[in-house]
Amino acid sequence: MAHSLPPLDYPYDALEPYISGEIMTLHHTKHHQTYVNGLNSAESAYASASTPKQRIALQAALKFNGGGHINHSLFWKNLAPSPEKGGNGGQLKDGNLKKAIESIWGSVDNFKKEFNTTTAGIQGSGWGWVGVNPGSKRLEIITTANQDPLITHTPVIGVDIWEHAFYLQYKNVKADYLTAIWSVINWDEAEKRFAEATA
Ligand SMILES: [Fe+2]
């Protein structure tokens, strides 16, 4: 069955002033759509490939477009309008996730600082993650390159660090984008993923 672009749970301009409506529109309707199209065509070519060599030749396209589709689908759910716009963005309630963050990083602010420092260090395009290590059940900050999905951990929060995610608004100042994004992080979604990963 073909993959399709998942609808957003909020209007394109609902994350302003932190992420502009122009970025959200292009990011969702153009960039994410391109990964969906690329995944569908790679899967259909894979299905009709008749030799191992033909199937191996499709691995890179499957990884890139499949990762792009998986990562962006997670990312949209990870975002929510801020309270000024009637949403719950940026609001981390008392609970198990907050407790886990405070026990590892000392405070939520320290966690954000470390996440942003690690993520700002990505060379080129990639993703910043906080995920649950399936062995230890502990939260860890991880980065992946390109559109590689997070497969070593269960993702709790993923942040797109491709220039297409911020350049129109923040230009080259990735640090300002990373500071702003915490105002529209959907912590309720993160809490749900954390509960599932640690159950
Ligand atoms: Fe993106």
Domain total for the chain? 2
The reply, when asked if residue 164 is annotated as ligand binding, is: yes
Let me know whether 194 and 101 are in one domain: yes
Let me know whether 110 and 173 are in one domain: yes
What's the gap in Å between 38 CA and the centre of ligand 1? 14
The reply, when asked if residue 3 is annotated as ligand binding, is: no
Please give the single-letter amino acid code of residue 68: G
What's the gap in Å between 107 CA and the centre of ligand 1? 29
Residue 1 has a pLDDT of 73
Let me know whether 115 and 178 are in one domain: yes
Give the three-state DSSP class for 131: strand
Let me know whether 122 and 75 are in one domain: no
**Residue 14 in domain:** no
**Residue 126 in domain:** yes
Distance between CA 152 and CA 132 in Å, rounded? 9
Instruction: For the chain of 199 residues, list the mean pLDDT of each consecutive stretch of 10.
Output: 95 98 98 98 97 98 98 98 97 98 98 97 96 97 98 98 97 96 98 97
Residue 106 has a pLDDT of 98
Report pTM. Answer: 0.96
Please give the single-letter amino acid code of residue 66: G
Let me know whether 27 and 74 are in one domain: yes
**Residue 87 in domain:** no
Query: Tens digit of pLDDT for each residue in 90-99?
Result: 999 999 999 9
Structural domain harbouring 168: 96-198
DSSP letter at 122 equals: -
Distance between CA 162 and CA 16 in Å, rounded? 19
**Residue 146 in domain:** yes
CATH of the domain at 101: 3.55.40.20
**Residue 8 in domain:** no
Let me know whether 106 and 45 are in one domain: no
Task: At 22, list the tokens.
Answer: 């122009």
CA–CA distances in Å: residue 178 to residues 34, 163, 165: 24, 12, 11
Let me know whether 105 and 184 are in one domain: yes
Residue 112 has a pLDDT of 98
Our CA angle for 129, 151, 173, nearest 5°, is: 25
Let me know whether 109 and 183 are in one domain: yes
Give the three-state DSSP class for 6: coil
Task: At 44, list the tokens.
Answer: 């259909």
For residue 155, with 0-12 CB atoms within 10 Å meaning exposed, 13-18 middle and 19 or more buried, which class applies? buried
Let me know whether 56 and 134 are in one domain: no
- Is 125:161 a contact under the CB 8 Å cutoff? yes
Let me know whether 116 and 69 are in one domain: no
CATH of the domain at 46: 1.10.287.990
Query: Tens digit of pLDDT for each residue in 48-63?
Result: 999 999 999 999 999 9
The reply, when asked if residue 32 is annotated as ligand binding, is: no
Let me know whether 106 and 184 are in one domain: yes
The reply, when asked if residue 28 is annotated as ligand binding, is: no
Distance between CA 134 and CA 155 in Å, rounded? 10
What's the gap in Å between 165 CA and the centre of ligand 1? 5
Residue 161 has a pLDDT of 97
- Is 79:19 a contact under the CB 8 Å cutoff? yes
CB atoms within 10 A of CB 79: 24
- Is 159:119 a contact under the CB 8 Å cutoff? yes
